[in-house]
């Protein structure tokens, strides 16, 4: 009962502190620091993933991821910038991409990341169009007559000749994913395993709360899940906004359910996955490989993180934009 009381006390003091802190930005500044940012370059050899004419996804995500890390280090020297991988291979000497994905989340969780940014490169499935390439004569047979006089007669008809043409990939631009709302249970479970340094209320201190095995624990994990969702949505919107400012076409913020997004619900922190462009499109592939493109995008993400940090510090924890579903 005492425990239950304590949990409700924490719950209410947290709600209360959100109001009181909003009125006191200096106090907030201490409490919403981004201490650790985890940068996750998607894929890694032997899983090179999407391919363009001359480059592949895992190399581009690494190049862009490292640049984002450098930019953040320059403007947030007090911040701990960690990478799930820093060379061309899958993280931690792994060769299986699913194990590698589990490792990415585990790495971020063990290092108590405050923000998880996964970098990816998009592609489209190859599409073909059937076109008529001329005509040919085809022979077919019909039955004529009745009874004994019945016989088969050959006839001809003109039929089209088809040929398949691969359609060019003309998509371009970025999109940023947050975990799908119907995956909240999974996210809650990840959050439930987070050993807190007593900072559920943002009060600091050393007491450890383990959100496990009780209704109270579930309330706290659920509250956290909501907060992380709001924060993920906020940073995702800021990233897309910064991309638009440098002229990248933006498909906006989305929720997606497929496998690649697993890291988003397995990390117990606000987390986003950025699709930086379409490698199947020649112009986009050139942009993603260029110094100019990589600089533009890494500075854009850096500015988004700075705006995110400033928003948290001034007591803004959410944006009211609803992402589209896919
Ligand atoms: Zn990918």
pLDDT in tens, the chain (326 residues): 545 544 444 454 444 444 444 444 444 445 557 999 999 999 999 999 999 999 999 999 999 999 999 999 999 999 999 999 999 999 999 999 999 999 999 999 999 999 999 999 999 988 899 999 999 999 999 998 888 888 899 999 999 999 999 888 999 999 999 988 777 888 888 887 665 544 333 333 334 445 556 778 788 888 888 999 999 999 999 999 999 999 999 999 998 766 547 889 889 999 999 999 999 999 999 999 999 999 999 999 999 999 999 999 888 877 755 454 44
Q: Report the alpha-carbon distance of residue 254 to residue 273 in Å, rounded.
A: 10
Are 157 and 176 contained in the same domain?
no
Q: Report the alpha-carbon distance of residue 263 to residue 187 in Å, rounded.
A: 10
Are 16 and 150 contained in the same domain?
no
Per the CB < 8 A criterion, the answer to whether 250 and 41 are in contact is no
280 C-alpha vs ligand 1 centroid, how far in Å?
13
Are 156 and 273 contained in the same domain?
no
Overall number of domains in the chain: 2
Q: Report the alpha-carbon distance of residue 172 to residue 247 in Å, rounded.
A: 11
Are 37 and 184 contained in the same domain?
yes
Are 113 and 147 contained in the same domain?
no
Examine the fold and report which residue of 165, 191, 215 is the final residue of a domain before the chain moves on. 165
285 C-alpha vs ligand 1 centroid, how far in Å?
14
Are 226 and 203 contained in the same domain?
yes
Q: Beta 250-256 vs 324-325: how paired, if at all?
A: parallel
- Expressed as residue numbers, the domain containing 157 is 128-165
* DSSP string for 44-102: BBTB--SB-SS-BHHHHHHHHHHHHHHHHHHH-TTSEEEES-SSSBPGGG---HHHHHH
Nearest partner of 258 among 101, 23, 80, judged by Cα: 101
Which CATH number goes with the domain that contains 8? 3.40.630.40
Q: Report the alpha-carbon distance of residue 125 to residue 279 in Å, rounded.
A: 11
**Which residues have CB less than 5 Å away from ligand 1 (the ion)?**
42, 120
Examine the fold and report which residue of 165, 186, 221 is the final residue of a domain before the chain moves on. 165
77 C-alpha vs ligand 1 centroid, how far in Å?
29
Are 120 and 142 contained in the same domain?
no
Are 13 and 47 contained in the same domain?
yes
* Bridge partner residues of 274 (DSSP): 119, 176
Q: Report the alpha-carbon distance of residue 156 to residue 153 in Å, rounded.
A: 10
Other CB atoms within a 10 A radius of the CB of residue 233 amount to 22
Nearest partner of 217 among 16, 10, 7, judged by Cα: 7
Structure tokens at 39: 């940068």
Nearest partner of 171 among 280, 95, 51, judged by Cα: 280
Q: Report the alpha-carbon distance of residue 249 to residue 37 in Å, rounded.
A: 26
28 C-alpha vs ligand 1 centroid, how far in Å?
36
Are 104 and 16 contained in the same domain?
yes
Are 113 and 232 contained in the same domain?
yes
182 C-alpha vs ligand 1 centroid, how far in Å?
21
33 C-alpha vs ligand 1 centroid, how far in Å?
29
Are 251 and 229 contained in the same domain?
yes
Examine the fold and report which residue of 142, 165, 188 is the final residue of a domain before the chain moves on. 165
**Edge-to-edge strands of the sheet including 80-83?**
80-83, 36-41, 115-122, 271-278, 174-179, 250-256, 324-325
Residue 323: phi and psi, rounded to 5, are -75, 155
Chain-centroid distance, C-alpha 25: 30
Are 9 and 157 contained in the same domain?
no
**Model confidence pTM above 0.85:** no
Q: Report the alpha-carbon distance of residue 50 to residue 101 in Å, rounded.
A: 17
44 C-alpha vs ligand 1 centroid, how far in Å?
10
């Amino acid at each position: 009962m005492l425990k239950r009381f304590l949990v409700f006390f924490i719950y209410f003091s947290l709600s209360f502190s959100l109001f009181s802190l909003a009125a006191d930005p200096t106090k907030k500044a201490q409490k919403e620091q981004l201490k650790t940012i985890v940068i996750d370059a998607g894929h890694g050899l032997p899983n090179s993933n999407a391919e363009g004419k001359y480059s592949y996804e895992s190399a581009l995500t690494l190049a862009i991821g490292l640049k984002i890390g450098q930019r953040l280090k320059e403007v947030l020297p007090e911040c701990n910038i960690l990478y799930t991988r820093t060379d061309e291979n899958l993280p931690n000497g792994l060769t299986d991409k699913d194990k590698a994905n589990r490792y990415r989340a585990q790495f971020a969780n063990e290092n108590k990341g405050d923000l998880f940014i996964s970098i990816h490169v998009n592609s489209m499935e190859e599409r073909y169009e059937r076109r008529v390439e001329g005509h040919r004569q085809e022979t077919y047979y019909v039955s004529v007559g009745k009874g004994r006089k019945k016989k088969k007669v050959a006839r001809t008809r003109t039929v089209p000749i088809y040929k398949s043409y691969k359609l060019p990939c003309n998509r371009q631009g970025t999109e940023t994913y947050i975990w799908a709302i119907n995956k909240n249970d999974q996210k809650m479970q990840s959050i439930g395993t987070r050993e807190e340094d007593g900072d559920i209320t943002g009060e600091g201190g050393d007491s450890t709360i383990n959100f496990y095995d009780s209704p109270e624990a579930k309330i706290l994990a659920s509250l956290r899940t909501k907060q992380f969702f709001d924060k993920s949505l906020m940073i995702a919107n800021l990233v897309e906004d910064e991309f638009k400012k440098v002229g990248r076409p933006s498909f906006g913020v989305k929720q997606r359910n497929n496998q690649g997004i697993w890291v988003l619900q397995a990390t117990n922190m606000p987390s986003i996955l950025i699709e930086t462009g379409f490698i199947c499109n020649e112009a986009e592939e050139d942009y993603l490989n260029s110094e100019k493109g990589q600089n533009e995008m890494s500075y854009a993400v850096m500015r988004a993180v700075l705006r995110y940090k400033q928003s948290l510090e001034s007591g803004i924890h959410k944006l009211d934009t609803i992402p589209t579903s896919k």
